[in-house]
Amino acid sequence: MSQEERIFQGVLFAPGAQELRALKLKAHCLDTDYNRTYEYETEKRADILSRLLGSFGEGSFIQGPIQFHYGVHTFIGKRFFGNFNLTVQDDAKVTIGDDCNFGPNVTIVTPIHPMLANERFRMKDENGAPAHACYAKPVTIGSHCWLGANVVVCPGVTIGDRCVIGAGSVVTRDIPSDSFAAGVPCRVIRPITKEDSMVNRPELLGGYSLMEE
């Protein structure tokens, strides 16, 4: 079993293995290339993201700077908007649905290290050789989600569709669809309902109106 296959199996793997270091080096170089572009260089940016990510949906945009750890393990849907300083440590797969908005400094992490200090650096691999090992859990974020500034999404979390995650939250557990959740650790505050519609805030509309469904 390759080290990448071990990641997807959810078992311990060696992040320093040559095959994984090569994947990460490619991603980190493409991150740097993207971060050196100007915002108007749309074709250059699109080319970089096509080589960096597993998929990047039509109409999506990332402000930059960015930092993807593997890149190819991240799959982003249509019409995604990612604000400044998006960081995705995608050892395991990261899946983001359509029509999601991320505020500045959103971080998604998937790897998990052993809790005991000696186990972080004194494991043995399947051949008995000394190994530094960790494991990883995938992250899934549904469609039509808004993650506020400085949100951290932890390994193994699933966020359902149409959720709003408040700024500064640390999401350590699953969040059901249609929820407003916030805090450290993040918890569901209440459901999102039609009472949250902007039609109930006429003082903010300023001439805007809702499109017909």
Which neighbouring-strand residues pair with 28? none
Structural domain includes residue 68:
yes
Selected catalytic residue, list 28, 69, 73, 113: 113
Boundaries of domain holding 147: 3-205
pLDDT at site 133: 92
How does 128-146 read in b/e, with b if 16+ C-beta sit within 10 Å? eeebebbbbbbbbbbbbbb
- Residue 112 and residue 19: Cα distance in Å, rounded? 19
Structural domain includes residue 210:
no
pLDDT at site 213: 64
The CATH number of whichever domain residue 32 belongs to comes to 2.160.10.10
What residue type is assigned to position 210 of the chain? L
CA angle 138, 143, 148 (to 5 degrees): 80
Structural domain includes residue 213:
no
pLDDT at site 145: 98
- Residue 182 and residue 180: Cα distance in Å, rounded? 7
Which residues of the chain are modeled with pLDDT < 50?
none
Token duo for residue 35: 């971060």
- Residue 86 and residue 14: Cα distance in Å, rounded? 25
For the chain, the domain total comes to 1
pLDDT at site 67: 98
* Known catalytic membership, residue 132: no
Q: Report whether 103 contacts 81 (CB < 8 A).
A: no
Structural domain includes residue 190:
yes
- Residue 9 and residue 3: Cα distance in Å, rounded? 10
Structural domain includes residue 160:
yes
Structural domain includes residue 150:
yes
- Residue 174 and residue 194: Cα distance in Å, rounded? 23
Residue with tokens 């899946």: 95
pLDDT at site 73: 98
Structural domain includes residue 161:
yes
